[in-house]
């Protein structure tokens, strides 16, 4: 193997958790591990997470810079000589990677929960049939490309080492979109994507006022991220950006509290890798209890405030 190249996303001068996850994963596959950095970021620090060399392309790469991402990654792949490209399963990667694969005539596996090298070929494991089954996809080309779902694997502690940084020049070949305005969601809470504790509520909360009072209230006490089931977001009691599940956000916190969520397979696909799952539901037969570490059969309107009161008493 000539090397594994990892696309390392960053924002605000800091690398996102997916950079750590993918570099950690790449280190288990054998062969040298390289990092690809688009734009201005502290590239050398990725040496502490296992990158032996970092290939950095200068330029402006915004949220909708799919065309520029394709062009820059093509140049970085050529410069690195890597035979495998791993990228986080974000909407930017979903836009850029298929176009890159088509340009290179390369095979691609999307939204993998894990990848491995088998007989010199990249094999990705991914969910099928709305998470009801898992299957494997073998990529027979070189380079082989795969996107990996965020929060799918462990992270490493940085050793503090610094990697060699190679500047890569690239040419814009494809016209890009013109971004007229960017509206960022406003939130004062903990980022759901990186939260170590997540409190999620379901449709049984019945109203936005109840959701805000019970779920956000408990989340504030626990300094936790706020999640919701699709039923809750479809009902308008929580924001769609907070939806956890197959068509929403995938989370893997140390503690996941599911309040009033029945446990549909689509929701489980987004949180089943949580280390500890606490389910609160009045229905003892709810499917969520089959996956919970701890189950509480009770009214969430009574249980959640009781948890908050108990935590506050410890302060």
Name the DSSP letter for residue 104.
H
**4-168 matches 197-314 in fold:** yes
pLDDT at 266: 86
- Rounded CA gap, 224 and 199, in Å? 7
Q: Looking up tokens 């974000």, which residue turns up?
A: 90
User: What's the sign of the alpha-carbon dihedral 289, 292, 295, 300?
Assistant: negative
Per-residue pLDDT tens for 143-169? 999 999 888 888 899 999 999 999 999
H helices of 28-159, in order, are 66-80, 91-104
The structural domains of the chain, with segments of one domain joined by +, span: 4-168, 197-314
Task: Select the more confidently predicted residue: 177 or 238.
Answer: 238
Min mean pLDDT across 30-34, 261-265, 269-273, 287-291 is at: 269-273
What's the topology of domain 197-314? Rossmann fold (3.40.50)
Long-range contacts of 66-70 (CB under 8 A, 24+ apart): 66/92, 66/95, 66/96, 66/99, 66/176, 66/177, 67/96, 67/99, 67/172, 67/174, 67/175, 67/176, 67/177, 68/38, 68/172, 68/176, 69/38, 69/95, 69/96, 70/96, 70/99, 70/100, 70/103, 70/174
Instruction: Name the token pair of 297.
Output: 């059969």
Contacts of 19 (CB under 8 A, 6+ apart): 6, 8, 9, 10, 35, 46, 49, 88
Read off the pLDDT of residues 125-146 as tens digits, 9 standing for 90 and up: 988 876 678 899 999 999 999 9
- Higher pLDDT: 265 or 47? It is 47
Q: Stretch 60-89: mean pLDDT, rounded? A: 90
Question: Counting beta carbons within 10 angstroms of the beta carbon of residue 216, is it exposed (0 to 12), middle (13 to 18) or buried (19 or more)?
Answer: middle
pTM attached to this predicted model: 0.79
Residue percentage of the chain with pLDDT more than 90: 72
Find where tokens 């790469």 sit: 61
Share of the chain above pLDDT 70, in %: 97
- Average of pLDDT values for 16-31? 94
What six digits make up the tokens of 315? 């302060």
CATH of region 4-168: 3.40.50.620
Q: Confidence class of residue 188 from pLDDT cuts 50, 70 and 90?
A: low
Provide the pLDDT for residue 38.
95
What are the b/e assignments for 117-137, b being 16+ CB within 10 Å?
beeeebbbebbeeebeeeeeb
Q: What is the per-residue pLDDT across 228-285, written as a single tens digit (0 to 9) for each? A: 999 999 999 999 999 998 888 889 899 999 999 999 888 998 898 899 999 999 999 9
Nearest C-alpha neighbor of 255 from the set 190, 193, 198: 198
């Amino acid at each position: 193997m000539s090397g594994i190249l990892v696309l390392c996303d960053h924002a605000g001068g800091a690398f996102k958790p997916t950079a750590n996850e993918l570099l950690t994963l790449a280190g288990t596959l054998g062969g040298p591990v390289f990092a690809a950095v688009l734009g201005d970021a502290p590239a050398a620090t990725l040496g502490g997470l296992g990158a032996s060399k970092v290939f950095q392309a200068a330029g402006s790469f915004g949220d909708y810079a799919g065309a520029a991402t394709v062009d820059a990654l093509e140049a970085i792949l050529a410069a690195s000589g890597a035979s495998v490209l791993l990228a986080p399963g974000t909407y930017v990667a979903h836009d850029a990677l298929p176009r890159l694969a088509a340009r290179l005539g390369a095979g691609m596996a999307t939204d993998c929960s894990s990848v491995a090298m088998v007989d010199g070929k990249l094999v990705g494991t991914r969910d099928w049939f709305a998470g009801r089954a898992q299957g494997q996809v073998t990529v027979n080309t070189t380079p082989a490309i795969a996107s990996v779902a965020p929060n799918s694997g462990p992270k490493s502690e940085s050793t503090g080492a610094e990697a060699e940084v190679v500047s890569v020049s690239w040419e814009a070949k494809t016209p890009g979109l013109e971004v007229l305005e960017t509206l960022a969601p406003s939130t004062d809470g903990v980022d759901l994507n990186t939260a170590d504790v997540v409190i999620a509520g379901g449709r049984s909360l019945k109203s936005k006022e109840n959701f805000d009072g019970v779920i956000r209230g408990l989340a504030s006490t626990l300094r936790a991220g706020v999640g919701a089931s699709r039923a809750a977001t479809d009902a308008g009691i929580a924001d769609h950006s907070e939806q956890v599940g197959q068509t929403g956000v995938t989370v893997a916190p140390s503690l996941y509290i599911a309040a009033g969520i029945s446990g549909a397979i689509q929701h489980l696909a987004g949180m089943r890798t949580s280390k500890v799952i606490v389910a609160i539901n009045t229905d003892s037969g709810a499917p969520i209890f089959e996956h919970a570490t701890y189950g509480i059969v009770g009214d969430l309107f009574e249980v959640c405030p009781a948890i908050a009161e108990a935590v506050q008493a410890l302060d």
